[in-house]
């Protein structure tokens, strides 16, 4: 019995040290200084029942970051109401971006000046607030959640998103009852969905510009001497929530890039480009390009071509644990361009590479109801999924006539 317990203990320890799903990296379950997923002591495998994904607080949250959609006057009043509630009633420290506080309408509002003076401000790219924030509250559309994700390149605090934008697929909460909803989150035990992100590296000069080196072995695997890690220079590392898009940019030529999976050349993409997306991103650009929509809890990476010059190039789904690499094909006539969640767009030239895999730092998005209902509700309300005119039922007289006609021919 003792040996059995020791073996079980070793199994749990080795699994924890390995830190991976059966099909991908095991995500971090601590979000910011005080939040984490409610531990499940009976679970040995790292594939958690979605119903058990509940938020708990090790200590009461003290610092809240508010992300507000800028250049939208309709959000001024909701923003001021939320700030008053958090500062005056909840006695919390509220962080906002400096350009939000410097808004002309807020600066001239004397009734809000006392609250404005208590707000902590920061500037993107200059001030690091990643280790100070306990909770993020978004006011706006899906873009506010994407922006919040970009501010935290490591562990992300829990995100509560209110639907005050145009689409609102990722923002399940309605602002009319914001006080009640925020109180529920502070009490803990709220349902959360762990939205996986992509860890992306852009490496400049990783490959030598040489036709012989660009050739592959007979089994499709790139020889080790293709890669010169010492020569390669990582110019950008990002955590991406929706998708990485590689396209042909302003060129009139087809994009021509090679796609590798765990070092093996899978295919070359000839077309307008290719989208590598998370399950969360499967309902964004990838859906417009013809991909399937995947629930965010599924550990996977999607590869979707953009207008491929091939009748047989269908979107594919690969396990979350693999590493994808995209490079320009040796015979490409032009460079390519890459963007990350629609931002930081840059040119990719011969010798450059883009490495993509699943990140261990997901975005813990707080659910309004639960992670299954919220997703299907968003499909129906925002994308009108499977909406059609209802088929009318048959009348009783029609059914009787059909039976009579059937019996007539049988007799």
Q: Which residues are catalytic?
A: 142
- Residue 24 region, left (φ>0) first, then alpha (ψ -120 to 50), else beta? left
Tokens of residue 130, six digits: 């990643």
Distance CA 13, CA 190 (A): 29
DSSP bridge partners of 163: 140
Q: Exposure of 203 by Cβ count < 10 A (0-12 exposed, 13-18 middle, 19+ buried)?
A: buried
Return the half-sphere exposure (C-beta side, CA atoms, 13 A cut-off) of residue 396: 0
DSSP code for 155: -
One DSSP character per residue, 297-338 reads: TS-EEEEEEES-S-SS---EEEETT--EEEEE-TT-SS-EEE
Backbone angles phi, psi at 220, to 5 degrees: 85, 0
Distance CA 203, CA 224 (A): 16
* R_g of the chain computed on alpha carbons: 25
CA 166, chain centre distance (Å)? 19
Tokens of residue 350, six digits: 């011969």
Biggest alpha carbon distance in the chain?
Answer: 91
- Residue 384 region, left (φ>0) first, then alpha (ψ -120 to 50), else beta? left
H helices within 113-228, ranges in order? 113-116, 142-151, 178-187, 211-214
Report yes or no: 171 and 138 within 8 Å, Cβ to Cβ: yes
Distance CA 367, CA 192 (A): 5
Tokens of residue 361, six digits: 């730092």
């Amino acid at each position: 019995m003792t040996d059995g317990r020791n073996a079980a203990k070793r199994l749990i320890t080795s699994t924890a040290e390995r830190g991976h799903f059966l099909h991908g990296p095991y995500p971090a379950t601590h979000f910011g200084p005080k939040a984490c997923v409610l531990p499940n002591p009976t679970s040995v495998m790292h594939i958690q029942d979605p119903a058990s994904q509940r938020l708990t607080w090790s200590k009461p949250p003290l610092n809240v970051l508010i992300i507000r959609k800028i250049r939208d006057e309709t959000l001024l009043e909701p923003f001021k109401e939320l700030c008053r509630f958090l500062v005056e009633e909840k006695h919390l420290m509220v962080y906002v971006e400096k350009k939000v506080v410097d808004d002309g309408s807020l600066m001239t509002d004397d009734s809000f000046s006392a609250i404005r003076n208590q707000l902590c401000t920061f500037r993107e790219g200059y001030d690091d607030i990643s280790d100070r924030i306990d909770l993020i509250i978004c006011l706006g559309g899906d873009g506010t959640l994407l922006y919040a994700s970009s501010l935290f390149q490591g562990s992300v605090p829990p995100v509560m998103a209110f639907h005050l934008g145009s689409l609102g697929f990722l923002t399940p909460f309605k602002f009319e009852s914001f006080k009640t909803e925020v109180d529920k989150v502070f009490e803990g035990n709220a349902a959360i969905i762990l939205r996986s992100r992509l860890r992306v590296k852009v490496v400049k000069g990783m490959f030598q510009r040489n036709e012989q080196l660009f050739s592959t072995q007979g089994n499709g695997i790139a020889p080790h001497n293709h890669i010169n890690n010492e020569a390669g220079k990582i110019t950008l590392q990002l955590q991406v929530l929706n998708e990485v898009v590689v396209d042909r940019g302003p060129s009139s030529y087809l994009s021509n890039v090679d796609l590798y999976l765990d070092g093996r050349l899978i295919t070359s993409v000839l077309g307008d480009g290719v989208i590598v997306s998370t399950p969360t991103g499967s309902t964004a650009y990838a859906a417009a390009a013809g991909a399937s929509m995947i629930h965010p809890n599924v550990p996977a990476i999607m590869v979707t071509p953009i207008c491929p010059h091939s009748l047989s190039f269908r979107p594919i789904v690969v396990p979350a644990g693999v590493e994808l690499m995209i490079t320009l094909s040796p015979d490409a006539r032009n460079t390519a361009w890459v963007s990350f969640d629609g931002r930081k767009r840059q040119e990719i030239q011969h010798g450059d590479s883009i490495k993509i895999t699943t990140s261990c730092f997901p975005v813990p998005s707080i659910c309004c109801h639960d992670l299954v209902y919220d997703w299907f509700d968003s499909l129906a309300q925002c994308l009108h999924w499977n909406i059609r005119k209802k088929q009318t039922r048959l009348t009783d007289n029609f059914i009787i006539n059909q039976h009579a006609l059937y019996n007539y021919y049988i007799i």
